[in-house]
Chains A and B, each alone.
Chain A
Amino acid sequence: MKISIHYIIALVLMVCTLAAHAELAVVVHPSNGTSLSKDDIQRIFLGKNRSFPGGGEAVPVSFLFGSKESEEFSTSVLGKTPKQLKAYWAKMIFTGQGTPPKELDNAGQILDLVSKNPSLIGFVPAGSENGSVKVVGKF
Chain B
Amino acid sequence: MKLTHLLVAIFVSLFTTQVFAADNIKFNGFASVVSGIDLKDENADSDYNSQTFDNLPESRLALQMTAKLEDGVRFIGQAVARGDAEEGFISNYEWAYFDFNVGSSGKLKFGRVRVPFYKYSDYLDVGFAYHWIKPPEAQYAISFRNADGLSYTHNFQMGPLENTLSALYGRYQGNLTIGGQPSPGEIRNLAGLRWLMNAGSNEFYASYWQGDCSIDSSVLTATAGLLAPAGVAAEDVEIEGDLCYFYGGGYKGTFGDFGLHAEAGTIDVEDAAYAAFTGAFVGGTYQMGDYLLHLTYEMTTLDEEEYDTAPGALESTGGEITNIIVGVRKDIGFSSAVKFEVHQYDTSEGYKPANVAAAAHSSDDEYSATIVKVAFDTMF
Residues of A within 8 A of B (CB): 48-51, 65-66, 82-83, 86-87, 90-91, 93-97, 99, 102
Contacts and interface: CB of A to CB of B under 8 A. Distances in A.
Interface in B285-336: 331, 334-335
Given A91-B126, A95-B123, A51 B76 contact: no
A93 B64 contact: yes
B126 A86 contact: no
B128 A87 contact: yes
A48 B103 CA distance: 12
A91 B334 contact: no
B155 A96 contact: no
A65 B333 CA distance: 13
Contacts of B183: none
A94 B28 contact: yes
B28 A50 contact: no
Interface in B68-120: 76, 78, 95, 97, 99, 101, 103-105, 107, 109, 113-114
Contacts of A97: 107, 122, 153
B126 A94 contact: yes
A48 B107 contact: no
Interface residues of B, number: 32
7 contacts: A50-B105, A51-B103, A65-B334, A94-B78, A94-B126, A94-B379, A95-B123
A96 B95 contact: yes
B50 interface: no
B344 interface: no
Contacts of B335: 86, 90
Interface string B331-355: 1001100000000000000000000
B99 A87 contact: no
Given A83-B334, A86-B334, A94-B64, A49 B104 contact: yes
Contacts of B334: 65-66, 82-83, 86
Contacts of B101: 50
A7 B66 CA distance: 56
Contact of A91 (B23, B66, B105, B123): B123
A94 B129 contact: yes
A50 B26 contact: no
Contacts of A94: 28, 30, 64, 78, 122-123, 125-126, 129, 379
A51 B101 CA distance: 11
Contacts of A49: 104-105, 155
B28 A93 contact: yes
Interface of B: 23, 26, 28, 30, 64, 66, 76, 78, 95, 97, 99, 101, 103-105, 107, 109, 113-114, 122-123, 125-126, 128-129, 153, 155, 162, 331, 334-335, 379
Contacts of A96: 66, 76, 95, 97, 99, 109, 113-114
Most B CB atoms within 10 A — which of A49, A87, A102? A87
Contacts of B114: 95-96
Contacts of B28: 93-94
A69 B103 CA distance: 31
Given A93-B64, A94-B28, A48 B128 contact: no
Contacts of B66: 93, 96, 99
Contact of A90 (B95, B126, B155): B126
A59 to B, nearest CB: 10
Contacts of A65: 334
Nearest to B101: A50
Given A83-B334, A86-B334, A97-B153, A91 B104 contact: no
Contacts of A83: 331, 334
Contacts of B331: 83
Given A86-B335, A96-B99, A97-B153, A50 B104 contact: yes
B70 to A, nearest CB: 13
Contacts of B109: 96
A96 B335 CA distance: 18
A85 B15 CA distance: 32
Contacts of B23: 102
Contacts of B162: 48
A37 to B, nearest CB: 12
Given A83-B331, A87-B129, A94-B122, 14 more contacts: A48-B162, A49-B105, A49-B155, A50-B104, A86-B334, A86-B335, A90-B128, A90-B129, A94-B28, A94-B30, A94-B78, A96-B95, A96-B114, A97-B107
A6 to B, nearest CB: 28
